[in-house]
Structure 1
Amino acid sequence: MKRIVLQILGLFFVVALAACGGNESDDAQSEQVETDETVTIKALNWHFDEEEYIVPSGETTIELINESGNHGIIIREANSGEDVVLNKQGSTVATLAPGEYEIICSIPCGSGHTDMTATLVVT
């Protein structure tokens, strides 16, 4: 009986150690998703830091930085026809096709919220 319990405990520790090792390779793979292009959109109270952002087509990291206030963004149909959505400060990778896309603030941020727009131009 003791032998069976020891074998089960041994098997448990082997599985636990294997699971821990798997996380390191997952982290390494997620770091490899970085793209050559990054567009940084800075959100301030009731406006973005630029009226127009220009990037080449392809995989692009879109980064949102809240300089003042609490903001999110929606870029309409920019990610292969799907909206790019960042509901808080952070970044995401999107595949951008050539065109012009509207950027809007997705979090009501006060009286100037409806005017908080910009354009993403993908060449």
Structure 2
Amino acid sequence: MKKWFLSFSLIVMVTLAACGGEDSNGDQDAHEVTDKIILEATNFDFDQETYEVESGDITIELLNKEGMHGITIDELEDFELQGDERKTVHLDPGEYTVRCSVPCGEGHMDMVATIVAN
């Protein structure tokens, strides 16, 4: 009986340890800094107000979840994505303004986000 109880206890402990819900720093809501940005566009909105990345070569991908959208980045000459496209660019440290480039209705002018490159 004792062996069964010890075996059962060990299995429960291992299972609970493997199912931890937090990441290693304990902060579940922190924005992850990455070398890829996926902007999800819906009518008059991007999925985030701010995207944070490490400076350097960054792949920017646009996904149209609702409506038809494109993006330009004010600080990057000749940068434009339309539809579901991606492009890799070099970002120096700083802030970059992303705007919807396809007139998509009354809220089009409010479709603005920021990329922060560290």
**TM-score, length-normalised on structure 2?**
0.68
* Structure with the higher fraction of residues in helix conformation: 1
> Which ranges in structure 2 are unaligned for 5 or more consecutive residues?
1-33
- With structure 1 as the length reference, what TM-score do the two structures score? 0.66
8 Å Cα contact 2:71-2:98 kept in structure 1: yes
Per-residue CA deviation, residues 44-89 of structure 1 (Å, 9 max, x unaligned), is 00000000000010001100000000000001124xxx25211222
What is residue 87 of structure 1 aligned with on the other side?
A: 82
Q: Percent identity?
A: 47
Long gaps (5+) in structure 1: 1-35
1:83-122 matches, within 5 Å, as 83-122=78-117
Structure 1 segments (4+ residues) deviating >4 Å: none
RMSD (Å), alpha carbons: 1.3
Q: How many residues align?
A: 85
Offset at 1:42? 0.5
More strand by share: 1
**1:76, 1:83 within 8 Å by CA — same for their partners in 2?**
no
